[in-house]
Structure 1
Amino acid sequence: MSGDSTESDVAQETTDDDGPKTHSTSFKIARALFGGVLAFTALDNFRKLDEMIAFADSEGAPAAERSVPAISGSLLFGGLGIAAWKLPRLAAGAVATFFVAITPVMHDFWSRDDDEEKEQHAIHFLKNAALLGGALAFLRVAQDD
């Protein structure tokens, strides 16, 4: 067996006797938790926009005055889209793009000299990597839905 999935295998992976697995209670809860937390984070970014812009600027983010609101908006769109499962491919793509764009810029633990600061940024980097993994998983499911 080569490990390649046939079309019927993929269809079986995304459906069961009750219809698409995206209609399952556990998937709806996962969407609500993942998307809801991301949307809350984005709203919090907007609530503390001046502080977030200053932080991004101090970390060397390009055009922080424009990029922070734009990237926070994409996170809000993505979080709400995943939670509601509306435009799920676009929403999951927006979330993945958010994490790919901000994580290495804002949490570059490898360039920190202070051990405590290095550890904190490493934790945030790894957390964001895990969230990126979740976004990619939702993107994959959305492609089949």
Structure 2
Amino acid sequence: MKPVRSLARVMLSGIFVVSGARNFQNPQRLVPAARPVTDRVAPLIQRAAPQLPTDPETLIRANAAVQLAAGLMLATGKFTRPAALVLAGTLVPTTAAGHPFWDNDDPTTRNNNQVHFLKNLGLFGGLLLAAADTEGKPGLRWRAGHRIGHSRRSVGRAVRTARREARIAVRSAAAARRLPG
């Protein structure tokens, strides 16, 4: 199954690598569409980290750089689960800014944006699957639960063995007292 996973990750990451590189080089073309989202996010960024820039062009470049880096990580199989989660996170503002079909009056534009919105929603689902994929190996949660269950069973066996040995010791002591001697 490894080749299928590898191929699927490369295919899934392709759009992020290409658009991330393109948007990093030329963010100006996206500023008008991104401004409604960046204007809402800017005050939150200012409150959380006042030293960070909040202009739309810089935020577009930052999002593009993250998409490029995380896309390459996903494609190469390095830190695939965190990379998929990061890409899913970058897809939310990208989709909200780039494809607001609910704001379009023109039926053709509305339909086009709705198709792209749904495409991004499908990408989001694929990224969530990639983030949850443990490649057939048990995840950390399962391993921790399994280890806890194993420890409980070991402690239970130790308690039963100690009780059995205590009963045997009590019987041996009682038998020794009954012996004349």
Q: Does 1:32 align with 2:10?
A: yes
2:73 to 63, 81, 85: 81
CA distance in 2, matches of 1:124, 1:103: 8
Partner of 2:86: 94
Q: Structure 2: state its 5+ residue gaps.
A: 39-54, 141-181
2:25 to 39, 42, 47: 47
What is the RMSD of the two structures over their aligned residues, measured on CA atoms?
2.0
Partner of 1:113: 105
Percent identity reads 27
Q: Does 1:67 align with 2:59?
A: yes
Partner of 1:126: 118
Contact 1:32 1:82 in 2 (8 A): yes
- Larger proportion of helix: 2
Deviation at 1:126, TM superposition (A): 0.6
Q: Which segment is superposed worse, 36-45 or 130-139?
A: 36-45
- What letter is aligned with 1:47? Q
Residue 61 of structure 1: SS of its match in structure 2?
A: helix
CA distance in 2, matches of 1:110, 1:37: 24
CA distance in 1, matches of 2:117, 2:80: 25
Deviation at 1:104, TM superposition (A): 2.2
Contact 2:27 2:57 in 1 (8 A): no
Residue 113 of structure 1: SS of its match in structure 2?
A: coil
TM-score (norm 1): 0.74
Q: Structure 1: state its 5+ residue gaps.
A: 1-20
Q: Which segment is superposed worse, 94-103 or 127-136?
A: 94-103
TM-score (norm 2): 0.61
Aligned length: 121
- What letter is aligned with 1:56? A
- What letter is aligned with 1:114? D
